[in-house]
Amino acid sequence: MRIRTIGLGLLGLAVLAVLVYQIPSVKERLEWRLDLAQIFVRSRLNPVGELPPPQIAQSSTQPAPTHTPPPPTATPEASPTPLPASVLLPPPAHITQGPNNCGPATLAMYLRFYGWDGDQYTISDEIKPVSADRNVNVDELDYYVRTRAGWLNTLFRVNGSLELIKQLLAAGIPVMVEKGHTIEIDYLFNDDYWNGHYALVTGYDDATGEFIFQDSYNGPDQRMDYAEFDMWWLHFNRVYNLVYRPDQAAVVEGILGSDWDATTNRQNALAASELEVQQQPDNAFAWFNLGMNQTYFADYNNAVVSFDQARVIGLPMRMLRYQFGPFFAYYHTNRLEDLEQLVDYALVITPNSEDVLIWRGWLFHKQGDVNGAIQQFRIAQQANPKSFYVEQALTSLGVQP
């Protein structure tokens, strides 16, 4: 009888714990800790090392490509108005991100700048409803604004510059960037602590040589000097999202100049990345960006050379959680051993990455296993039921999403 009573008591406590865990404030506090514990245990049982080098041996002194000048603009661009020495836009109410929610949290702050009254979960419920989903791409954020906040305009481009950010801020437009970031928590065995992270830039100060930005992880009004900011921004091809009112469209187009056109922007980015690898031939991120820009133009043969070189120099452990150009390049050049190697590695780092699970599906498809491909797409769909990438993959095989 006593054992039965203890058993019922423990069962009651377990049920109570489950119910308490469903309270949003409790779940938000505990969920990331449980997730961290799972990752910690898994990485000790199956340790992962550095991102592996390419299967095909590359020279450690790969020659840098010849610089291709950017295409001429259709009309001469006007000289910019001299910028003020400092700009500080009124920051929106700060949002501390929930688990793996820096993208939605940062975008929510951006939209609040324009009077939007939602929060980070208004966004994440639509583009990443599973909190363990660790990555939101810039085009997913762009998609949310276009489909859920259509009274605002939005775009994203690469190859940004510090001067461009200053011009946009001076015009009253904050700038959302994705950049490298470190969080010194031992998620992985022998962790390098590198992550991708979004930030909303709301000001600059030439007197101190710093940008001021809103950071959903570290807090409001963070400061970073220009050189360090650009170093971290380079890790993501200097990508940026803009959200602005329709009446600001002409101003944004004037500031962006030739980069207003998405294809021309990539041509400019390709030329810039070719120059950057010449200037910094030992910079893995510069080579990776070159590969990303070559992949945009389906120049896969050259892209694999660039990605190979980036891997030889060395990339962070989580690089393939956020950027997927190598999968495109190795797939289209039939470097399937490299594709499989990187898919397996990336899924050890991030087992629920819908982007990588989709690429495992395409690897199976390339190997003739259509059913296996569909199964992987369905697993990816479980990781993110709102993923339009999964929908596109399934539809391309004639399968109902």
pLDDT in tens, 123-149: 999 999 999 999 999 999 999 999 999
In 192-271, the DSSP E strands lie at 194-205, 210-215, 219-225, 240-244
Q: What is the pLDDT of residue 341?
A: 97
Is residue 16 very low, low, confident or very high in pLDDT (cuts 50, 70, 90)?
Answer: low
Q: What is the torsion angle, in degrees rounded to the nearest 10, for the CA atoms of residue 313, residue 317, residue 322 and residue 325?
A: 40
Q: Which residues pair with 225 in a beta bridge?
A: 210
Architecture of domain 86-264: Alpha-Beta Complex (3.90)
Question: Over the chain, what is the mean pLDDT?
Answer: 90
Residue labelled with tokens 């830039």: 201
Digit-coded pLDDT (tens) for 18-56:
455 456 555 555 555 566 666 666 656 667 889 999 987
Q: Look up residue 100 and give its amino acid.
A: N
Residue labelled with tokens 């991030």: 350
- Residue 106 CA to residue 180 CA, distance in Å, equals 15
Domain boundaries of the chain, sorted by first residue? 2-45, 86-264
Q: What is the pLDDT of residue 2?
A: 66
Q: Which residue has the higher pLDDT, 394 or 7?
A: 394
Report whether 47 contacts 189 (CB < 8 A): yes
| Angle between helix 162-170 and helix 249-256 axes, rounded to 10 deg | 160
Residue 76 carries which DSSP code?
Answer: P
- Residue 58 CA to residue 310 CA, distance in Å, equals 10
The helix (run of H) or strand (run of E) holding residue 192 is none
Give just the sign of the alpha carbon dihedral 320, 326, 328, 334: negative
Is residue 86 very low, low, confident or very high in pLDDT (cuts 50, 70, 90)?
Answer: very high
